[in-house]
Structure formats: structure tokens, C-alpha cells
A and B are shown apart, each in its own frame.
Chain A
């Protein structure tokens, strides 16, 4: 048993001190031992900080047009005082965008949107996907057939294409894009959940609860769900990354966030034609998307390893 082995390993290492450690403590400790996961968590912490404090950090409003306010031109290059930009010019860390707004401020506000997009779509998808997967796995039979075949249908479409189709029907807009991405990512969670439920369902402690007269709901929520949670956490963390990417793609195509919302994907899309004349307008939003997605992927990978008892020795 993995837990036994772990305890023995701890005993060996710490010289026969035996203390009980919960799964989460162990996971947490393992996660911190993985350097890549720590990097991911640091990036995410910075992004979260930026998102929470954007209105104080940003020197300008995200929709503040600087025509006539400052002497700047559309798509001007970044002006950073530390790097030798003359002090009499106003500082714009990431330059000026095509509508004469401060690109840096828009990037900061964009962090808020992207994290919001990631968390809300995945939360939505996990709630619905888990419920469907649990129903299908626990009750089996017709429930299983109907739910999982419907999930197969959803999976049969390329996810971005399906999201585009949904947005086309609902009309473009950030909320609709979130909904579309949420719907598209439901099957992944439903499948993961069903698979876990199928294994856990046959365990002795579940039979014991049933023998003691536990209701279906009690068994499902108190016995099965907590023990099927680990794969969901990993899937969810990685899912946030792909949700952010999908939302950026939809916005790039003009189907997601509508102007003047400072969504990174739409900022990238709006200036795509200036990639040679004003590369900073394309580089920074792309870089921010990359950073965010990278942080979630690193954390997700770390979590997967940390939660996998078979890898206990290697960590």
C-alpha cells in the first residue's frame, strides 16, 4: 500500500519519529519540492496580485484615450525612463496601442479577465461534468449510456470549432464565449469522474456504507466523491490553461471579448496587421498569454506527480 510505504520512508528518513500526515500535507510538501511547480506558483501568485490590484497598479485606465492628453502617437514604441527614454516624455512601459491607449495598463487589466475566464469556465465545467460523470458512473445502465454517448458527441467536435459554433449561435461576447468554452470542456471532467467512480464504487468501504443503510446521496457525496477528487484537480488545473487559450483564440477571432475590453487575445488580434511596424503591440499580449498558460501547466504537472502515490519515492 502506498500510504504504508510512504510512512516507512518518512520513518527511515526522520529516525523513527512517527506522526500522522494527511494526504494533503504530503501532496503540498511534494509539490514544493518540485522546482517547476514552484516557478509556476510564483508566476501565478504575481498574476493574481496584478489582477487584484490592477486599478492601483495601472498608470492609466484601460479605456483612457490619450489623444490630446499627452503628446503621444498611435503605436508608439515603449518609453521606459530607466532604459534611457528622455525624462520629459511620459513613461509607457509597453508602448501605445492603435487607439492611443497605454498598452501596459491594458495588459494589467487583461490579467484580471484571463484569470476570471480560466477559473469561471473550469468551475462551471467541473460542476456540471462531475455531476454528470458521477451519475453515469454510479447508476450505470441507461444513465451511463445516455450521458456518456452525449459526451462522446461533444468530444467528436474539435473543441475550438464547437466553441465557435456555440458563440455564433449565442452571439459574440465575453460571457457567451465563457459559456461556450465551459460547455466544450464538460466531457473531459465527466469522463474522469466516471472512471474514478467506477473504481471506487466497488471498494469495500462503499459496500460497508451501503450495508449500514447509507442512501445513494450519502454514498455518492461522502464516500465516493472525496476519493475520486485527485484526478479532477489535475485535470482542472490543466483545463484552466486550455480554457484561457481558447478564450484568447475566440477573442482573437472577434468572437470573445468586445472592444474596448482589454482581453489579451483581442489585443493581439486587433494589432495583428502591425506585427512588423509595431511588434510590441503583438508581443506583450502574446507573452502574457504564454506566461499564464505556462504557470497553470507547470502547476498542473507538479500536482499530477505530487498526487500520484506511485511516484512517491522519486519525489
Chain B
């Protein structure tokens, strides 16, 4: 008896310790600074067709443009009308707003799952949206199951059940597809393209190379603080050889950071040609005639921009040794840790990273990576971040072209990174799946595909989503799962990159492109039964943009896309 009591007591002590350890950290003063902005005076909504007698439109409005990024305010100017006021003209507004990270959640759900500093586990794992599929179960480590949304405003999904599975091994994915246990797989291994082509039961869909693989260098670490060293490495790596040997057909050597298939992407001079002798000379002149020792960091995960990670890393290691006598040690890191360390600029060597387009505009590539605030390459140079920032405000591609040319030439001069390749990749499906997709942006829409009349559609991708609260995620494997459940105001066309209306019927700008008015779709309901209206949009953007709002609670609270593409509002001063 005594013994039992003792055990019980020690268990209790242990449990309280664990609780204290987990819950203690988040003591952010969330309550005291409820922004007055969100509680705007009740504005008389202009009467819509619906008898919206007691609709009270909310709004989010920054005090001035100094305390926010691009978006100054989001207002519900009617039950089905939202107005975005911008601090600067944004020609890419529609392309950006269509990105699934800005998917709309119900107002009540946002508040209910806001948690204390970070979103509750329900918020992270059971999103509520308006999409064609509803989340039914997430079996951690196993699979995610979705069921068709019977009240979907668009076309009802062909398969009643959608299952997401994952495997990091391309051989395993292909094997599952061949044995018929899955209907579609992502990222066919580069060596397996022909296997899929030759199999009558399967069909291959090549995905355009809207991505870039680059070698990052952080210029706050020696010897990468020396521009000549960076230039020497850029000249001393044979990128053609890497693409020829390790990439599937449809890939190309990167002439610029932004792929040329993106309008305005490759203005300015082409990247350095491979020249080992010149590279060695330049390295010697910079004070390293015998090379130096460094590290090559990467994460062992397959992405479409880098289909054979360890082979490429080893080849770069061999090339650095052969061409520049640089001894590089290969360091493999865990994916999450690698992203965290590399994007924060804490890796003291060369790191292998890439980027897949979210929307087809140079801003998606250049502004994200080479904005003044991004520490991933160390100290950014004004020679490129100034023209990039200026170009982002210009709608006319012809007018912004010289600025992008200037920026790209400055990037070539400064070498914060070495763009290597735009990698082709592909999806494969069983031959009887209709409307097969290989989206250049990686957002395949499964509700439009009919898996040969079967009730269950099984999709296998590279990795398990990190969370399903995609407003605060940047991982493509997570976003694809979210896109089935949550919709944004616009969406990208199937297999394409053009923005098409989704939850908004239309968004129209004023003449100076700094006020966008969106008319929302009516009669749309969320999966929890609530009706979609303008206040849901305002609440979603308050959650994402307003750093002082108690709703601004995410997974890691990095809010990368809200921050880098729009700029957060009321950021706490550092």
C-alpha cells in the first residue's frame, strides 16, 4: 500500500515536471495588447443581395506604413467584399494571394485554436477550410485520410476518400505504384523515368523545371567573407557535368537564379562559365594558393530541384578537391535542423539547398532570398537588394526588366550563392487515373482526378507533412496536403501557374495597383458548417500578418511567407 502511494506520488511529481517544462516557456503577454485595429467601429455594410441585416464588417489596419510591410489594411467592406489597401503597388498581388499559405480559415476556428503563443494541436493537425476534401484522420507516421466534402461549391471530387502516404525512398514509391497499392507518386527517381515510360500500366508526367538548386555560402564566416573566394568557387565548379550526370531529362544548367521560364526571370548576364584555371588563379590571388578546408552541408531528402542529393554532394566534394584543392568534409543534417540553421545563416561551409516556385514571378525567387532582412547568406549587399525591392513595385515587365538585369548582374558579382540547376522532375500515376497532373508549383489537385473509378485515391509523396496549419509552414510536402482542405481567394490553374478565382469571384485593383477589391463567392460553407464571408478573410489575414494580435499563433511562429512576401505588421521591436 505504502509502496503504491509512493509510486503514485513520484509519477505525479514527474508529470508536473513535464508539464512545467512544456508549458512554462510560453508566457508571452498575449492578452494585454489586443490591437484596437481589429475592433474597428461597426461600419454599415452596403446591403448585399442577401439580407445581411446585422453583418458587422471587421478590419485590420496598420497605423501607418512604417509599422507594416506591403499590406496596410484588410477590410470587410461588405459581407462578401474585402478590400486590401497596400503601402506600395503590387503587380504580383493575384499570384501571391492565390498561394495556399494564404488559405482562408473560419473566424471562430482561428480564435478557438489560437492557443497560448502557438496554435493548439487541433489547429495544427485538423484544419477546417472550404476545400473539396475534409480531413478525416491523421495517423502520425502512417497516413492522412481525407473524405470528400459533400457541400463543396465546385465540382464534387471523383473519389470519396483521398489518402496521403509518404516514403523518402524513390525505389519504395515506385514499387508501391507498380504493385498497385498507390494511384500516384511524386518525384520519380531520375533513373526510373524510363522504367515508368516502358510500363504500360503506368504513365509519366514531367514537371517543368520551375525551381533552382543552389550552393549557399554565408559571408559572415571566413573564408566566404572574401568575394574573390566565392567567385573562384563559382568558376571552379562544372555545373554542366552535374546536370548531365545527376539530373533527369528536362533539367537545365541555371543561367540565373530565377528560371528563364518565369517571365522576367533571367535578365542580365549569364552565370560564369566553368574555368578551373581562372578559378585557381583567383583563389590563389585571394590568399589561398593551396586551397582550404571547409564543409558541405546537406539534408538527405529528395526534392525536385535536387533528385540525387548525396551523389551531387560527393561530386561537388570531388570537384572542389580537383579544381581548387579545397578539402570539403560532407556533413549530413536532419532536414528540420538543416533548414533552421541554413536559413538563419549559421552554417560555416557550403550548403546545398534549393527553391521551388510558389507563384510564377521573379519576386518569389529574388525577394525571398535576397531581401535585406534575410540572413541566410550573411550580410546582403545593397547592390542587388535595392533594385530587387524597386522592381517589385513595378507592374510593367518591360519597365522592371532593367532593374532585374542590374540585380542579377550584382548577384553574379557578389556571389551570395551559386545557382546550379533547374531540375526537371516527374509524377507517375497508374494509367487509368484521369486528368493526371504534374503541377509546376507542386500543387496537384486530387479532387479533379478520377482513379479509374475506385473509391479510394492513394497518393504517395516524399515526406510526411510537418503540420497541416500551412499559414505557418513553408514545406511543399505540407502545403500539398493543406491545399486539399483549405482554399485561398485565388488558386492556380490546373497544371499551370496562372491565378484563377477560387473563394473570390474576382479581385480588381484600382488604377495605381495599391487598392485591391475582392468580391467573394457566396453560399460557400466551411467544413464545420459555418458560412464563409468577408470577416473570415479579415480574421485569416489578422492571424497571419498582425504580430501583435493574440490570433498570431502558429507552429514555429516563423510565418515565413507572410513575413517575406507581405511583411508582418506591428513587429515587436528587437
- Min CB distance, A234 to chain B, in Å? 38
Is A194 an interface residue when CB atoms closer than 8 A count as contact? no
A100-B245, A276-B195 as given contacts; A259 in contact with B313, CB under 8 Å: yes
Cβ contacts under 8 Å, B315 to chain A = 65, 99
Task: Tell yes or no: A52 within 8 A of B by CB.
Answer: no
Contact, CB under 8 Å: B308 / A254: no
A278 at the interface (CB under 8 A from B): yes
- Is the pair A259, B314 in contact by a Cβ cutoff of 8 Å? yes
The docked-state distance in angstroms from the alpha carbon of A66 to that of B315 is 11
A68 with B241: in contact, given A99-B315, A254-B300, A258-B330 (CB under 8 Å)?
Answer: yes
Q: Does A133 contact B (CB under 8 A)?
A: no
Asked whether A260 lies within 8 Å of B317 as measured between CB atoms, the reply is: yes
Cβ-defined contact, A260 with B318, below 8 A:
yes
A74 CA / B312 CA spacing, docked (Å): 12
> Distance in Å from the Cβ of B119 to the closest Cβ of chain A?
30
Which chain A residues border B203 with CB–CB below 8 Å?
A: none
Chain A interfacial residues counted at CB < 8 A: 23
Enumerate B239-269 residues with CB–CB distance to A below 8 Å: 241, 245-246
Q: Out of A63, A259, A275, which one reaches B171, CB within 8 Å?
A: A275
* B112, CB-defined interface residue at 8 Å: no
> A73, A274, A275: which has the most chain B beta carbons within 10 Å?
A274
Report whether A270 and B311 are in contact in the complex, using a CB–CB cutoff of 8 Å: yes
Give A25 to B43 CA distance when docked, in angstroms. 104
Give the interface SS of chain B, mostly helix, strand, loop or mixed: helix
For B169, give its contact among A74, A258, A273 (CB under 8 Å). A273
Interface residues of A in 63-98 (CB under 8 A from B): 63, 65, 67-68, 73-75, 98
Contacts of B310 in A (CB 8 A): 259, 270
User: B317 to A259, Cβ gap below 8 A?
Assistant: yes
Known A98-B308, A259-B313, A259-B317; 4 more pairs at CB < 8 Å? A67-B241, A258-B329, A260-B317, A272-B169
A272-B171, A276-B171, A276-B195 as given contacts; A65 in contact with B318, CB under 8 Å: yes
Cβ-closest chain A residue relative to B192: A277
Q: Could you tell me if B246 and A273 are in contact, using CB atoms closer than 8 angstroms?
A: no
The answer, yes or no, to whether B191 is at the interface (CB within 8 Å) is: yes
In the assembled complex, the CB of B351 is this many whole angstroms from the nearest CB of chain A, namely 16
22 pairs, A vs B, C-beta closer than 8 Å: A65-B315, A65-B318, A67-B245, A74-B246, A74-B311, A75-B191, A98-B311, A99-B315, A99-B318, A254-B332, A258-B329, A258-B330, A259-B313, A259-B314, A259-B317, A259-B330, A260-B314, A273-B171, A275-B171, A276-B175, A276-B192, A277-B195
**In the bound complex, do residue B170 and residue A273 qualify as a contact, i.e. CB atoms below 8 Å apart?**
yes
Please give the distance in Å from A134's CB to the nearest CB on chain B.
40
User: What chain A residues lie within 8 Å of B330 (beta carbons)?
Assistant: 258-259
In the complex, whether A118 has a CB less than 8 A from a CB of chain B is no
CB pair B246–A63 under 8 Å, yes or no, is: no
Residues of B within 8 A of A302 (CB): none
B residues contacting the other copy or chain, number (CB 8 A):
25
In the complex, which residues of chain B have a beta carbon less than 8 angstroms from the beta carbon of A274? 171, 189, 191
In the bound assembly, the distance between CA atoms of A272 and B318 in angstroms comes to: 21
- Interface members, chain A 45-69 (any B CB < 8 Å): 63, 65, 67-68
Contact mask for chain B residues 297-308; partner A; CB cutoff 8 A; 1 contact, 0 none? 000100000001
Q: Counting CB contacts under 8 A, is A172 at the interface?
A: yes
Chain A residue with minimal CB distance to B170? A273
Contacts of A75 in B (CB 8 A): 191
Residues in chain A within 8 A of chain B (CB atoms): 63, 65, 67-68, 73-75, 98-100, 172, 254, 258-260, 270, 272-278
Report the minimal beta-carbon distance from B172 to chain A, rounded to whole angstroms.
8
Closest 4 CB pairs of A and B: A273-B171, A277-B191, A98-B311, A259-B314
Q: Are the CB atoms of A99 and B311 closer together than 8 Å?
A: yes
B326 CB → nearest A CB, Å: 14
> Which residues does chain A contribute within 8 Å of B246, judged by CB atoms?
74
Say yes or no: B318 contacts A278, CB within 8 Å.
no
User: Which residue in chain A gives the minimum CB-CB distance to B322?
Assistant: A65
Query: Nearest Cβ distance between residue B190 and chain A, in whole angstroms?
Result: 9
How far is A65 from B246 in the complex, measured between Cα atoms in Å?
A: 13
Name the contact of A172 in the complex, choosing from B169, B241, B332 (C-beta under 8 A).
B332
Question: How far apart are the CA atoms of A147 and B332 in the complex, in Å?
Answer: 37
With a cutoff of 8 Å between Cβ atoms, the chain A residues found around residue B332 in the complex are: 172, 254
- Cβ contacts under 8 Å, A100 to chain B: 245
Kindly provide the distance from the CB of A31 to the nearest chain B CB, expressed in whole angstroms: 43
Residues of chain B within 8 A of A260, CB atoms compared: 314, 317-318
Bound-complex Cα distance A73 to B244 (A): 10
How does the 8 Å CB contact mask read for B309-344 relative to A, with 1 for contact and 0 for none? 011011101100010000001101000000000000
Q: Does the CB pair A273–B317 fall under 8 Å?
A: no
| Closest partner residue, chain B, to A273 (CB atom) | B171
Q: Is the CB of B318 within 8 A of A63?
A: yes
Contacts of B317 in A (CB 8 A): 259-260
Instruction: Name the distance in Å between A102's Cβ and chain B's nearest Cβ.
Output: 14
A101: shortest Cβ distance to chain B, in Å?
9
B 219-253 to A, binary, CB cutoff 8 A, 1 in contact else 0: 00000000000000000000001000110000000
CB distance from A61 to the nearest CB of B (A): 11
A68 to B311, CA, bound (A): 17
Q: How far is the CB of A187 from chain B (nearest CB, A)?
A: 30
Complex: how many Å from CA A236 to CA B157?
A: 64
Contacts of A275 in B (CB 8 A): 171
Among A99, A100, A274, chain B packs the most CB atoms within 10 A around the CB of A99
In the bound complex, how far is the Cα of B317 from the Cα of A63, in angstroms? 10
Name the A residues within 8 Å of B175 (CB-CB).
276
Chain B residues with CB under 8 Å of A68's CB are 241
